[in-house]
């Protein structure tokens, strides 16, 4: 009986650590690869295409890698995103290595600060899921930019999403607790 109870407790601890590892905040490289913050070559090369396939949670950080002498990242309002208005950003990021922590649910709008780049599609919408949807087990992709803003959708580069950090560590720790 004691062996069965130990196995049950170990299984519960393992599941708790496993679920905790999947909800950890992550650093996500924009576009899933270095230097993806650029004018897209096609709609399928859009950063919004990458963002639609990704799931962003509160606490995640977006990481931009770009040539800071030629470009910047502007966080803007929805209206400024649609119109590519660079005159009054919420935040301005420069230097070529930008990290932005996602601290609330809802949409975040980013455009290039380089003249003419936004109009050519160098822009991004990231939708952070709310706390009530954070532990949802089904697949729920982020809404498309068209669903958020209507027909003014802009292209930008694509690739796979970032990584889950700590998942392997938590699984290994849980396995050690079982033994």
DSSP state of 30: G
The pLDDT tens digits of the residues spanning 92-143 come to 999 999 999 999 999 999 999 999 999 999 999 999 998 665 554 444 445 5
- Residue 67, pLDDT above cutoff 90: yes
More confident residue, 142 or 42: 42
More confident residue, 26 or 10: 26
DSSP strand E in 37-90: where?
A: 61-65, 73-76
> What is the pTM for the complete model shown?
0.64
Q: What is the mean pLDDT of the chain?
A: 76
pLDDT above 90 as % of the chain: 54
- Residue 61, pLDDT above cutoff 80: yes
More confident residue, 77 or 1: 77
- In the prediction, which pLDDT does 50 show? 95
Locate the domains of the chain by residue range.
1-24+164-179, 25-162
- Residue 168, pLDDT above cutoff 50: no
Half-sphere exposure of 103 (CA within 13 A, CB side): 3
Choose which CATH entry (3.40.50.2300, 2.60.40.420, 3.40.50.300, 1.10.8.60) describes domain 25-162.
2.60.40.420
Query: Which of 15-29, 62-76, 165-179 has the highest mean predicted lDDT (pLDDT)?
Result: 62-76
- Residue 149, pLDDT above cutoff 70: no
Long-range contact pairs involving 142-148 (C-beta distance under 8 Å, separation at least 24): 142/51, 142/52, 142/54, 142/55, 142/56, 143/52, 144/48, 144/52, 145/48, 145/52, 148/78, 148/107
């Amino acid at each position: 009986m004691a062996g069965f109870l130990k196995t049950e407790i170990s299984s519960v601890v393992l599941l708790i650590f496993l679920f905790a590892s999947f909800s950890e905040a992550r650093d996500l490289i924009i576009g899933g690869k270095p230097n993806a913050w650029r004018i897209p070559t096609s709609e399928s090369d859009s950063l919004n295409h990458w963002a639609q396939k990704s799931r962003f949670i509160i606490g995640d950080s977006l990481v931009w890698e770009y040539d800071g002498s030629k470009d910047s990242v502007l966080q803007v309002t929805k209206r400024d995103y649609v119109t590519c208005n660079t005159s009054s950003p919420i935040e301005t990021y420069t230097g070529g290595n930008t990290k932005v922590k996602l601290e609330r649910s809802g949409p975040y709008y980013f455009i290039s600060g380089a003249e003419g780049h936004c109009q050519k599609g160098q822009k991004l919408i990231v939708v952070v899921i709310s706390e009530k949807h954070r532990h949802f087990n089904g697949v729920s992709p982020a809404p498309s930019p068209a669903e958020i803003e209507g027909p003014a959708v802009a292209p930008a580069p694509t690739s796979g999403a970032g990584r889950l950090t700590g998942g392997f560590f938590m699984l290994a720790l849980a396995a050690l607790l079982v033994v």
